[in-house]
Amino acid sequence: MIDWGNLARRPCSWLAEESSAGVILSTRIRLARNLTGRFFPQHAPRNERRGLLQEILDKTQSLEMFEGGHRLALQALEPLQRQLLGERQLVSQELVESPEERGVVVSGDERLSFMINEEDHVRMQAIRPGVDLDGAWRAVDALDDDLDGRLDFAFSSTLGFLTSCPTNVGTGMRASVQAHLPAVVLNKDLERLIEDLRSKRLAIRGFYGEGSAAFGNFFQVSNGTTLGVREAEILERLDAAARELADWEERARQALLSRARSLLEDKVWRSFGILRHARVLGAPETLNHASLLRLGVSLDFLKIPLRTLDEILLCAQPAHAQLLGGADGGTEVDARRAAMVREKLQHVER
């Protein structure tokens, strides 16, 4: 049994420790795999999907790396609990919204996991704090080897791994870095950055607030198609991208400082004042203020552990704030979120 209130309060272990925190929040590698001789999930009859979920859960039960973690059939969870898993980057929005015959297996530290019956039969992922493509790759590769010994993955000697969507055929790999780019956004450099990334066949999208708006100026940058590209090449490309993203952000920060230092400082301190004292806080507003504080800390305007801000960014999300509940379960969620944020910022050295 999961203690959801406790989980909602607990920072992810892949949040960076102070030393490594910065523009790149985390690195993630995902591998898509399918079982030989079966329909892809969206073409499989419900019966077959149900059987497959059970089969995969059974065959992976003894995996050592998931001891102390969770093995979950999503259908058995409340919508809010699924959403919490989504906010912690453990399941996709697809699984949050359509849990039927789908599952997720998560390691105790949440750094390693795999979804069952998403777009593909198995989607593994490894997350690491900061820029760590090697570490994430080694972890997900080891999991891939382990699973391959238990499940028969579909592989073509000419195409590579077969996947439901043609863009994933080949390595079935998507590597991404989660970048915090507040100065790029404030300095109106985002469009130029997106063009630059596109020319390098890299994709960018919002990190918090999936898809549409990039709340808090967090972005996820990943490789595009994987067919005809080797794993090592993808890792190298993302590693270079991570360095470039940091450079873009740094240049934008310098431009902002030389052009509008005092207005920027004011903006940051107002965000601090609001987060430190507000009694009612919505999620998008909180993410945006915390994002500005993260920038302010990097610019030495004020002293708050980045780790504290990253915890706020995680726990201010809708399902997290809702599940914080506990003793004051009757309070409105926006009031509960504000109380959580105030508490985290209470002892901040200014």
Q: Which residues bind its own copies (CB under 8 A)?
A: 262-263, 265-266, 269-270, 272-280, 332, 335, 338
Half-sphere exposure of 122 toward its Cβ, with a 13 Å CA cutoff? 31
Q: How far is the CB of 245 from its own copies (least distance, A)?
A: 29
CA distance 139 to 7: 23
In order of 106, 132, 241, 255, the CA distances from 204 in angstroms are 26, 18, 11, 23
In the bound state with its own copies, the residue whose beta carbon lies nearer, of 231 and 265, is: 265
Which of 320, 337, 342 lies closest to 282, judged by CA?
Answer: 337
In the bound state with its own copies, the residue whose beta carbon lies nearer, of 39 and 269, is: 269
Q: How far is the CB of 325 from its own copies (least distance, A)?
A: 17
* Angular region, 113: left φ>0, alpha ψ -120 to 50, beta rest: beta
In the bound state with its own copies, the residue whose beta carbon lies nearer, of 31 and 324, is: 324
In the bound state with its own copies, the residue whose beta carbon lies nearer, of 173 and 338, is: 338
Q: How far is the CB of 87 from its own copies (least distance, A)?
A: 24
In the bound state with its own copies, the residue whose beta carbon lies nearer, of 70 and 267, is: 267
CA distance 218 to 214: 6
Residue for token pair 């979804």: 115
Burial status of residue 48 (CB atoms within 10 A of its CB: 0-12, 13-18, 19 or more): middle
Q: How far is the CB of 32 from its own copies (least distance, A)?
A: 45
In the bound state with its own copies, the residue whose beta carbon lies nearer, of 65 and 302, is: 302
Q: How far is the CB of 263 from its own copies (least distance, A)?
A: 6
In the bound state with its own copies, the residue whose beta carbon lies nearer, of 137 and 272, is: 272
User: Is the C-alpha dihedral spanning 124, 129, 130, 133 positive or negative?
Assistant: negative
Amino acid code (one letter) for 321: A
Q: How far is the CB of 250 from its own copies (least distance, A)?
A: 23
Q: How far is the CB of 260 from its own copies (least distance, A)?
A: 10
CB-CB neighbours of 285 under 10 Å: 18
